[in-house]
């Protein structure tokens, strides 16, 4: 079942879409309607979300999170799906989004969309000002968590220069807790214990090397 990791954040069970990749999705519970960040195909977890108030919005950080369960979540909960303008061709093959991201903007009262191209052309991060006086950053695969810290989501198809600029943008934020989609190691999220700027600099240095 989904596991509560913070007062208003629930983590789905780990999935492995293909060898070497592990992911979680995260449900943010809000009085104004719950938001599911990323995607899950775990049927028991999707059913459990009903008891947590359902899913009002599902925001995907990039095209790799598309799957048949996106259609199920939309139908089962009457959820509104969000995705970036630059990846509409990929979305159209699965499920056309109700909300199209195209710039940095606050779409919900406490959720801000931050386009961060590089990993893919339409990669986005999400900054949440929690009702519990914390700031959460959902990085998708722009930054992914390892046991050694945060690493850049640089793959063969990624745009290195765009990713570098996106990391510099993330470096200016001040989150309290950061959640990636893909991860390697023990956990997909981590509380910021020191200076976030320094943690992102590690990823920037790795990208430059």
Task: Report pLDDT for 185.
Answer: 80
Kindly report which listed range (39-48, 85-94, 118-127, 184-193) carries the lowest average pLDDT score. Answer: 184-193
Reported pTM:
0.96
Which percentage of the chain shows pLDDT scores above 90? Answer: 89
In the predicted structure, residue 177 carries a pLDDT above the cut 90: yes
pLDDT tens column, 66-122? 999 999 999 999 999 999 999 999 999 999 999 999 999 999 999 999 999 999 999
Q: How confident is the model at residue 143 (pLDDT cuts 50, 70, 90)?
A: very high
Identify whether the C-beta of residue 68 lies closer than 8 Å to the C-beta of residue 75: no
Q: How confident is the model at residue 144 (pLDDT cuts 50, 70, 90)?
A: very high
Domains along the chain? 3-208 (3.60.15.10)
Q: In terms of DSSP bridges, do strands 189-191 and 149-152 run parallel, antiparallel, or are they unpaired?
A: unpaired
Could you give the angle at which helices 43-51 and 68-77 cross, rounded to 10 degrees? Answer: 20
Task: Report pLDDT for 193.
Answer: 87
Task: Report pLDDT for 6.
Answer: 97
Task: Report pLDDT for 18.
Answer: 66
**Alpha-carbon distance 73 to 77, whole Å?**
6
**Alpha-carbon distance 139 to 191, whole Å?**
13
Task: Report pLDDT for 128.
Answer: 98
In the predicted structure, residue 20 carries a pLDDT above the cut 90: no
Task: Report pLDDT for 209.
Answer: 81
In the predicted structure, residue 136 carries a pLDDT above the cut 80: yes
In the predicted structure, residue 21 carries a pLDDT above the cut 70: yes
Tell the burial category of 138 from Cβ atoms under 10 Å away from its Cβ (0-12, 13-18, 19+): buried
The number of angstroms, rounded, from the C-alpha of 85 to the middle of its chain's C-alpha atoms is 16
Q: How confident is the model at residue 1 (pLDDT cuts 50, 70, 90)?
A: confident
Task: Report pLDDT for 16.
Answer: 83
**Alpha-carbon distance 148 to 165, whole Å?**
22
**Alpha-carbon distance 45 to 50, whole Å?**
9
**Alpha-carbon distance 63 to 122, whole Å?**
7
């Amino acid at each position: 079942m989904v596991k509560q990791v913070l007062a208003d954040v629930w983590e789905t069970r780990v999935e492995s879409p293909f060898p070497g990749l592990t992911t979680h999705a995260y449900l943010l519970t809000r009085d104004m309607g719950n938001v599911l960040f990323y995607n899950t195909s775990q049927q028991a977890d999707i059913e459990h979300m009903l008891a947590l108030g359902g899913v009002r919005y599902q925001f995907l950080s990039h095209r790799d999170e598309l799957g048949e369960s996106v259609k199920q979540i939309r139908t089962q909960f009457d959820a509104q799906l969000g995705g970036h303008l630059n990846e509409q061709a990929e979305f159209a093959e699965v499920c056309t989004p109700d909300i199209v991201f195209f710039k940095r903007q606050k779409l919900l009262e406490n959720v801000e969309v931050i386009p961060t191209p590089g990993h893919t052309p339409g990669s986005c991060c999400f900054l949440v000002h929690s009702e519990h006086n914390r700031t959460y950053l959902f990085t998708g695969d722009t930054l992914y968590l390892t046991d050694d810290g945060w690493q850049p989501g640089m793959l063969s198809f990624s745009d290195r220069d765009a990713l570098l600029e996106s990391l510099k943008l993330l470096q200016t934020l001040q989150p309290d807790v950061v959640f990636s989609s893909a991860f390697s190691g023990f956990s997909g999220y981590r509380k910021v214990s020191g200076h976030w700027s320094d943690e992102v600099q590690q990823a920037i240095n790795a990208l430059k090397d």
